[in-house]
Amino acid sequence: MTRLIFLGPPGAGKGTQAKALADFLNIPHISTGDILRQAITDQTDLGKKAQEYMDKGDLVPDKLVEDMVEERLQKPDAEHGWILDGFPRTVAQAIFLGELLAKMEKDEEKVVNLDAPDDIVIDRLLGRGRKDDAEDVIRHRLDVYRRDTAPLIKYYGDRHKLLTVNGNQSQEEVTAELKKVIAV
């Protein structure tokens, strides 16, 4: 059973690689970013609240995201594995997730850190052309990542769950390296 958490700065390729690997392994790719963007498009209460934070490049508050993740992990398609992309983003969320997975008796997750330099991720994100991908917002998101999310690398490393992959390669090279490190 494969349970993976993808970490890395915005634009490192987490979504692209998580989707490719999920398709290969026939497990769901659970992207909190996609779920939040859909909620914004649908103008749900969660979406309206989330948009205020995302427009500034800030993280959506933990409780909103935690409730959404808990609900998603209990769906039948996640029974035999999943890839989480965009959660956890803070050590507090990682602690919540660890407790949730222990409660669900599914706490054998591995964490993949897709590492890529700032100049590469800024170029990639500017090339996407999304509303929240203006350069000043991207730089703010990188600062938020370094402050709030990068500590997860140490957190999961200390728990011997961390696998690091060079995200500054072609998509095919990253996918091949991912398959090697997770032994599929």
Give the chain's domain count. Answer: 1
Query: What pLDDT is stored for residue 46 in this prediction?
Result: 79
Largest separation between any pair of C-alpha atoms in the chain: 42
Out of 75, 130, 146, 147, the active site residue is 130
Q: Is 60 exposed, middle or buried (0-12, 13-18, 19+ CB in 10 A)?
A: buried
CATH code for the domain of 172: 3.40.50.300
- Of 8-17, 22-31, 75-84, 125-134, least confident by mean pLDDT is 125-134
Could you tell me what percent of the chain has a pLDDT over 90? Answer: 64
Please indicate whether residue 128 is annotated as part of the active site: yes
Q: Is the pLDDT of residue 132 over 80?
A: no
Specify the range with the lowest mean pLDDT, choosing from 25-29, 35-39, 84-88. Answer: 35-39
Given 3, 14, 72, 124, which residue is catalytic? 14
Give the CA distances from residue 118 to residues 11, 102, 147, in Å, rounded to whole numbers and listed in that order: 9, 35, 14
pLDDT category at 184 given cuts 50, 70, 90 is low
**130 annotated as ligand-binding:** yes
Active site residue 3: no
List the domain range (segments joined by +) for residue 128: 1-181
Tell me whether residue 124 is annotated as binding: no
Q: What was the pLDDT predicted at 71?
A: 81
Q: Is 139 a catalytic residue?
A: no
- From first CA to last CA, the distance across the chain in angstroms is 11
- 124 noted as active-site residue: no
Strand pairing partners for 166? 115
Tokens for 94? Answer: 């990682």
- Residue range 95-104: mean pLDDT, rounded: 95
Question: What is the residue-wise DSSP string for 1-16?
Answer: -EEEEEE--TTSSHHH
Q: What is the pLDDT of residues 72-88, one digit of tens each?
A: 888 899 999 999 998 99
At residue 59, the pLDDT reads 76
The encoded tokens of residue 91 equal 């050590």
Answer whether residue 153 shows pLDDT above 90.
Answer: yes
Region 143-153: what's the mean pLDDT? 92
Q: Is 146 a catalytic residue?
A: no
Of 80, 77, 75, 82, nearest in space to 31 by CA: 82
What number is the average pLDDT over the span 58-71? Answer: 84
How many Å apart are CA 64 and CA 74, to the nearest integer? 16
